Structure 1
Amino acid sequence: MTPSSDLALRRIAGIPGPRLAEADRPDNFIDAFALQQQISQQVCQQALTEVIGWKCLLPVVDNALGDTKYVLAPIFAAETIIESKSSAAISAQCRLFPSAKNMARVEPELAFEFGTALPPQEQEYTNAQIDNAIGGVRLALELIQSRYSKPTEVSYFEALADGLVNQGLYLGPHINYPQEGGLSLVEAFELEVTQGTGTIAQSRCYSAKHPNNNPKAGLYWLVNFLSQQGIGISAGQQVITGSYAGVLDLPLDQEIHFRYGELGQFKLQFKAK
């Protein structure tokens, strides 16, 4: 079995496994990204799905790595849950593969939804062109799972090839988002997460802050990076650009209420696949 087939099958089944054989482990960005794209093709073929979006952050120079750390990975339609009704009164369901501790692992994010395609082109897209292509913004949760049994033992390049622990995306309600400027509302806010209902409800507040400050910074980079690789953005695709509160471990089968400051809110229950 090829490394791409192995990791694709683990993703589809939700069953982590050991590190790849040493000879198959990527040790640079070019090889890791190539393996990631091979896995993507395998997932799309075997799960009869397609890439519905991407996760990304701005690249940073990592002194420990001795290289630039690129953060990008595809997100698949078969792993994306779209909330059909937006309101704090509606409790939706989000099915995912739970962690070894039987918890839901998620990251609170914003998803930028493209209304217009941006095909590959020789010249770079301007920020204004990318802004104009965005058709909407949604509250979202990145669903987290590694395909490695011991993810802390794998290298960054191995994790990149595997999709950087992404197992899917939960898309909540649309929000009013400033197309240009006025980003203070979405750079930082108070994130409130409430577990349970009534007298047994427990709330926790997080000082939510975007890791790149501007939530669109990674988006602008991603569009042009993909274009250089001959990969376009399709209408309807979603892009998430970084967690506002890191990874949250939350219980299954309980009502969870997420309030993103003044941006909006939603309720759901996590269910194990």
Structure 2
Amino acid sequence: MPPAREQQAQAAIELIARRRAVKQGPRLLEALRPLDLEAGWQVQQEVTRQLGQAVGGWKASLPSAGKLVAAPIYQPTISRAAICAVPFPAGADTVAVEPELAFVLAQDLPPREQPYTQAEVDAAVGAVHAALEICASRYTDHTGLPFAELLADGIVNNGLWLGPALSAPDAAAFQLSWHIADGPAQTADARHPDGNPRAPLYWLANFLRERGVGLQAGQAVITGSYAGVLTLPMGKRTQFDYAGLARFEVEFRGQ
């Protein structure tokens, strides 16, 4: 195995060990740290190969200088249950979530030579759901880390809560409200960070096509938080309202 591949494999082994133990740790040893986005992507893909869990979805955002936002969401970490068990370190009493939309595919978008058009991607979408990305890192402190190291670890993804399908077409902005049991109602002007919630999906379909990966029917793709990160208490029911597009309630518990 070439030295670079050996380093990527060792980095993946360490990140997988933290996932399985539900423990965080310091930065990878200097010799194992990916130094650029391509190396970070390769470590991430090595994690997927060695972890052996099906990819049930993806997170994506439009690329920007120094950032490549494309990361798998593993099927065992995706939940639709009203009481959602979250793999968090022992003693955690809060969970960080991001309100998003999830595009659930009804058709495969496999690798091929010619790019996918927006119409082809739209035709592959079976439904659009309200969703909450569950956020956590395998690093004790991920703030300030080079993006390549975040990319290697799946860009702070720890799972996905998949809510109900929208009652109307997906919107770039809406009034978000949520209410934690025994607490006051809260609101936010929810806006998609890329303006068009489907734009990152179009990009991801062709990014994965070029990489020989592709998207599969049944996978859910989230494309960016509408309201940043919300911190919710474990063990308390929270009601969400996406301005009538979808209403749901969920309670997170550690596992």
TM-score normalised per structure 1? 0.87
Q: Deviations over 1:172-206 (max 9, x none)?
A: 1111343xxxx6xx11111101011xxx3411101
Q: 2:165 aligns with which of 165, 174, 193?
A: 174
Is the contact made by 2:37 and 2:147 (CA closer than 8 Å) also made in structure 1?
Answer: no
Q: 1:131 & 1:153 partners in 2: Cα distance?
A: 36
Query: Which residue number corresponds to residue 72 of structure 2?
Result: 74
Q: 2:190 & 2:143 partners in 1: Cα distance?
A: 25
Query: Which residue number corresponds to residue 96 of structure 1?
Result: 86
Q: How many residues align?
A: 246
Is the contact made by 1:12 and 1:43 (CA closer than 8 Å) also made in structure 2?
Answer: no
Q: 2:109 & 2:211 partners in 1: Cα distance?
A: 13
Query: Which residue number corresponds to residue 138 of structure 2?
Result: 147
Q: 1:134 & 1:101 partners in 2: Cα distance?
A: 36
Q: 2:215 aligns with which of 233, 242, 246?
A: 233
1:226 Cα deviation from its structure 2 partner: 0.4
Is 1:59 aligned to 2:67, yes or no? no
Query: Which residue number corresponds to residue 20 of structure 1?
Result: 28
Q: 1:223 aligns with which of 201, 205, 223?
A: 205
Paired letter, 1:231: V
Q: 1:144 & 1:13 partners in 2: Cα distance?
A: 17
Matches within 5 A, 1:122-133: 122-133=113-124
1:97 Cα deviation from its structure 2 partner: 3.4
Query: Which residue number corresponds to residue 89 of structure 1?
Result: none
Is the contact made by 1:97 and 1:104 (CA closer than 8 Å) also made in structure 2?
Answer: no
Is the contact made by 2:92 and 2:254 (CA closer than 8 Å) also made in structure 1?
Answer: no
Query: Which residue number corresponds to residue 213 of structure 1?
Result: 195
Q: 1:264 & 1:110 partners in 2: Cα distance?
A: 10
Structure 2, unmatched stretches of 5+, are: 1-8
The DSSP-based 3-state class of the residue aligned with 2:143 is helix
Q: Which portions of structure 1, spanning 4 or more consecutive aligned residues, are displaced by more than 3 angstroms? A: 97-101
Is the contact made by 2:132 and 2:161 (CA closer than 8 Å) also made in structure 1?
Answer: yes
The DSSP-based 3-state class of the residue aligned with 2:19 is helix
Q: CA RMSD in A?
A: 1.5
Structure 1, unmatched stretches of 5+, are: 62-66, 84-91
Q: 2:207 & 2:232 partners in 1: Cα distance?
A: 34
1:103 Cα deviation from its structure 2 partner: 0.6
The DSSP-based 3-state class of the residue aligned with 1:58 is coil
Query: Which residue number corresponds to residue 10 of structure 2?
Result: 2
- % identical aligned pairs: 43
Query: Which residue number corresponds to residue 256 of structure 1?
Result: 238
Query: Which residue number corresponds to residue 42 of structure 1?
Result: 50
